Chain A
Amino acid sequence: MSESEEKIIEIDNVYYEYPEGIQALRGVTNYVLRGEIVAIMGENGAGKTTLIKHFNGLLKPTRGRIKVKDKDTRKTSVAELSRIVGIVFQNPDHQLFAETVFDEVAFPLRNFGFPEDVIENRVKWALNILELYQYCDKSPFMLSVGERKRLAIASVLAYDPEVIVLDEPTAGQDYLQKEKISEIIKLLKLMGKTIVLVTHDVEFVTMYVQRIIVMSQGKIIAEGPPHRVLTDYNVIRRGNLLPPQLVRISRALYGKSLLDRYDYLSVEDLSREIISKMREANGGTSSI
């Protein structure tokens, strides 16, 4: 296996049963490659959040095994795993508790035992990247929802984990906040981070993700690049997803033999194709 194909997380036939007896994962096998952006999608209650909680050892498999950088998560502490995998949960309020924005970001660093001068630098750096530095001394609860979400990302980014997991980063976010989150994801990618997104946002995924894993009822039902997974109507139905709008348009045109494929995911590509066809058609009439 080449270096670029290194599996940073290996998921091997994992089962998980909650104490109340709910079988949330039922034989999940997959992986996360170093440096990739992968999305985990699927219906409400499919087991997505349960799965990512295994990545830093918050949950341990009932059966099967998860390895993070070759460490078996059952035999490794959450603290050690969290240095490698940082998780930003869907509701930022569940993970914010410090009195100031600065302390919020500094908290995990202090926990990991970084010296104070390093902590100060790291906090400043992370807050600057997420455009929150001006709120340093404010209470996290004074911030807007979008800002709190970014603060939760900053507090994970500051301790520099190799893998960053974002649970529903765009849910309930307005357009401008979504744009900001896209920028952040691009930046993290540039920094060489491995990114796992748990998301329902089909349109968002088509723009940024290399690989999609679709889950349903505790199992993985499909896996592959967006143009393959999101054009498979069977998978889309079973995953409670909707096909991307452009796929729906191109499928209809493909059905009338007006396009030679239906996996268009970018407005640029599809509009270029349609415009050239329209020019052709118009040229056709004038020559008649």
Chain B
Amino acid sequence: MRERLVYLRDVSYRYPDSKTQTLQNINFDGYRDEIVLLIGPSGCGKSTLARIFNGLIPNFYGGQLQGEIDIAGYDPRKTPTAKFAKTVGFVFQNPENQLFFNTVERELAFGLENLGVPPAEIRKKIDEALREYGIEELRQRSPFELSSGQQQKVALASVMIMQPQILILDEPTANLDPLSALKMIGLIAKKTREHRMLTILIEHRLEIALQFATRVVVMNEGQIIADGPPLETVLKTDYIVGAPPMVQLSKKLQSSGFPVNIDKLVPEAMALEIIRKLSKGGLDERKRREDNRDR
């Protein structure tokens, strides 16, 4: 059975100085091993929702938070933010906002020291993390002189070293070139599987992120308007979230009576499916299967 880590029922939220509700009737369950791609227009409430997951709402922002909430056993209204730090990791769009120390090593040590982890164990964990994230050569460098791709890796490593059960990423690749963005999200997906986390990824670059999602949640004007399998959900809401070229192509082929079933949203997988349909072998096989059925 799937293990539920996040449970929200009829949740609404209003910022302290706002007259309107930023979130309305949010119902959301998040499970271990999921990579949820959370998308929607700017101002739709994605980042606000993310701040509930790590307790910044209401602990830091105040305001009026209503509904049933369970984040890995905690209710953010009754739990101080510091408690969330061990359970929920958060990576921001701009890594400079979460890097503070003059070396990468110190950056990684900080959270563990706060938790009172013994120094020997901290050193061991840092060595592991530096290796795992391919940033060994950056150990003594200042996070501020690194490239944005390296900074994002350090930010992710400093969050992951705490072994969170839930990982939230708010546009982690906005400042990265395409290849670095792909590698970053690929790394996040790999870590989600290895550490069996629930990952919630806010990201506008669908052409890069969609292939890694196990589920897509679309928000608009403070509400969740769609929630389901990636391709199906994007097709349903493409008027508001757009669709990467390969999704547009599959839509075109489908509407012309040639549906292409793809389980992985990468262009090569789609090409393979088209090749299968076009090549004689594929047709023969289909014919054989039909013959078998007829028999």
Name A residues whose Cβ lies closer than 8 Å to a Cβ of B: 42-45, 144-146, 171-179, 200, 202-203, 237, 239-242, 244-246, 248-253, 256, 258, 267, 270-271, 274-275, 277-278, 281, 284-285
For the complex of A and B, list the 7 residue pairs with the smallest distance between their C-beta atoms, beginning with the closest: A175-B242, A252-B271, A248-B267, A271-B252, A172-B174, A240-B179, A242-B178
Cβ–Cβ < 8 Å partners of B207 in chain A = 202-203, 245
User: Whose C-beta in chain B lies nearest to the C-beta of A246?
Assistant: B245
Would you call A43 and B179 a contact (CB within 8 A)? yes
What is the CA–CA distance of A204 and B288 in the complex, to the nearest angstrom?
43
In the bound complex, what is the Cα–Cα distance between A251 and B268 (angstroms)? 9
A144 to B42, CA, bound (A): 8
Q: Nearest chain-B residue to A202 (Cβ)?
A: B178
Chain B residue, CB-CB nearest to A177: B42
- Does chain A have a CB within 8 A of B11? no
Question: How many angstroms between the C-alpha atoms of A177 and B244 in the bound complex?
Answer: 15
What B residues does A146 contact at CB under 8 A? 42
Task: Give the distance in Å from the alpha carbon of A239 to the alpha carbon of B177 in the complex.
Answer: 9
The digit string for B58-79, where 1 denotes a CB below 8 A from any CB of A, is 0000000000000000000000
Partner of A277, one of B93, B245, B278, B287: B278
Q: Is the CB of B249 within 8 A of A270?
A: yes
Number of B residues, CB within 8 Å of A: 45
Q: How far is the CA of A284 from the CA of B283 in the complex (A)?
A: 10
Residues of B within 8 A of A271 (CB): 249, 252-253, 256
C-alpha gap A63/B186 in the complex (Å):
41
CA distance A44 to B147 in the complex (A): 7
- B204 beta carbon closer than 8 Å to chain A: yes
B149 contacts A by Cβ under 8 Å: yes
Please report the C-alpha to C-alpha distance between residue A69 and residue B121 in the assembled complex, in whole angstroms. Answer: 63
In whole angstroms, how far apart are the Cα atoms of A242 and B273 in the complex?
21
Q: How far is the CA of A124 from the CA of B71 in the complex (A)?
A: 49
**Cβ-based interface call for B140 (8 A):** no
> What is the chain A residue whose CB lies nearest that of B44?
A174
Q: Is B225 an interface residue (CB 8 A)?
A: no
- B41 CB, nearest partner CB in chain A, Å: 5
List the B residue with the shortest CB-CB distance to A42. Answer: B177
Given contacts A174-B241, A284-B283, could you give 18 more A-B pairs where the C-beta distance is less than 8 Å? A43-B177, A44-B148, A172-B93, A172-B171, A173-B204, A176-B41, A239-B177, A241-B179, A246-B245, A252-B271, A258-B279, A274-B253, A274-B258, A274-B278, A275-B256, A278-B253, A278-B256, A278-B258
B78 nearest CB across to chain A (Å): 33
Chain B positions 173-194 with a Cβ under 8 Å from a chain A Cβ: 174-182
Chain B residues engaging chain A, CB cutoff 8 angstroms = 40-43, 93, 147-149, 171, 174-182, 204, 207-208, 240-242, 244-246, 248-249, 252-253, 256, 258, 267-268, 270-272, 274-275, 277-279, 283, 287
User: Which residues of the other chain, A, contact B267 by a CB distance below 8 angstroms?
Assistant: 245-246, 248-249, 252
Q: Which residues of A contact B42 (CB under 8 A)?
A: 144-146, 173-174, 177
Across the interface, do B275 and A253 meet the contact criterion of CB distance under 8 Å? yes
Question: Cβ of A203: which chain B residues have Cβ within 8 Å of it?
Answer: 207, 244-245
Contact residues in A for B41 (Cβ distance below 8 Å): 174-177
A residues less than 8 Å from B246 (CB atoms): 245-246, 249
A203 to B243, CA, bound (A): 11
CB closest chain-A residue, reference B42: A174
- Report the nearest B residue to A270, measured CB to CB: B249
Task: Give bound CA distance, A285 to B181, whole Å.
Answer: 44
- B79, chain A: closest CB distance, angstroms: 31
Tell which of A45, A171, A252 touches B174, judged by Cβ atoms closer than 8 Å: A171
List residues of chain A with CB within 8 A of the CB of B175. 44, 171-172
A149–chain B nearest beta-carbon distance, Å: 10
Chain A's closest residue to B275 (CB) is A256
Q: Is the CB of A172 within 8 A of B253?
A: no
Residues of B within 8 A of A277 (CB): 278
Residues of B within 8 A of A174 (CB): 40-42, 204, 241
* Cβ-defined contact, A256 with B178, below 8 A: no
**Cross-chain contact A267 with B149 (CB below 8 angstroms):** no
In the complex, are the beta carbons of B176 and A200 less than 8 A apart? Answer: yes
Q: Assuming A245-B244, A284-B283, is B275 touching A252 (CB within 8 A)?
A: yes
Output the least CB separation between B241 and chain A (Å): 5
CA distance A253 to B43 in the complex (A): 40
A-B contact pairs, 16 of them (CB 8 A): A171-B175, A172-B174, A172-B175, A174-B241, A176-B41, A200-B181, A237-B179, A240-B180, A245-B207, A245-B267, A246-B246, A246-B249, A253-B275, A253-B278, A275-B256, A278-B278
Nearest CB to that of A284 among chain B residues? B283
Task: Quote the shortest CB–CB distance from A153 to chain B (angstroms).
Answer: 16
Which residues of the partner chain B approach A175 to less than 8 Å between Cβ atoms? Answer: 41, 204, 240-242
Known contacts A145-B42, A271-B249, A275-B258; is-contact A256 B279 (Cβ 8 Å): yes
Q: For residue A268, which residue of chain B has the nearest CB? A: B252
| A44 contacts B177, C-beta separation under 8 Å | yes
